[in-house]
Amino acid sequence: MVEMKVSGVILEPQSRSPIVVLKDTDERRALLIWVGEPEANAILLGLEQVPTPRPLTHDLFFSTLKTLGAALGEVRISDMRNNTFFAELKLDVDGKEIVVDARPSDAIALALRAQSPILVSDEVMTNSSIPINQSKEDQDTEDFKKFIDSVKPSDFGKMFPGGGGPSTS
């Protein structure tokens, strides 16, 4: 499983459908999940920790879990079939683990309220995640670090023929 963080919600340019963007903790891969507008709203409210005058559905469910002594241990995005992601809530109820099927959008909205980890299966990451492009500057810095780590003193004779180093004249 790969731990992910909610990076934000964006709109798909053509259809204007909301997409939840999850990024791995190293910010090297992203997982895009299309959701409905109400679900995107619930995720944004949880992400921004916006208080509402009355509990919304996810707030109510989270409050109910706490009142009953249950805790949301983690959310798992466990599978993708026929272009549909599947998620699970891992609940801790009196020391017993209970797994409940959930839509990823609901699971993410709850995880934000409970401050619980969001995990994605390795298989889903392999099949559905996309690499995050590093900026040119970041890539140049990374390339330079790799070069510095790999260069040996004996390499300088190869770089500067006729001597052990650069000319000072």
The helix-helix angle for 37-48 and 104-114 (nearest 10°) equals 20
- pTM of the model as a whole: 0.77
Per-residue pLDDT of the chain (169 residues; tens, 9 = 90+): 999 999 999 988 888 899 999 999 988 999 999 999 999 999 999 999 988 899 999 999 999 999 999 999 999 999 999 999 999 999 999 999 999 999 999 999 999 999 999 999 999 999 999 998 755 556 666 666 666 666 555 555 544 455 544 444 4
Cα distance between the two ends of the chain? 58
Residue type, 159: M
Domain spans of the chain, in order of start:
2-133
pLDDT value for 165: 47
pLDDT value for 12: 86
Which residues does 110 contact at the CB level (< 8 Å), separation at least 6? 46, 58, 61, 62, 72, 75, 89, 102, 116
Paired with 15 in beta bridges are none
For 149, counting Cβ atoms within 10 Å of its Cβ (0-12 exposed, 13-18 middle, 19+ buried), the class is exposed
Q: Which fold has domain 2-133?
A: Bifunctional nuclease domain (3.10.690)
What HEC string does the chain produce? CEEEEEEEEEECCCCCCEEEEEEECCCCEEEEEECCHHHHHHHHHHHHCCCCCCCCHHHHHHHHHHHCCEEEEEEEEEEEECCEEEEEEEEEECCEEEEEEECHHHHHHHHHHHCCCEEECHHHHHHHCEECCCCHHHHHHHHHHHHHHHCCCCHHHHHCCCCCCCCCC
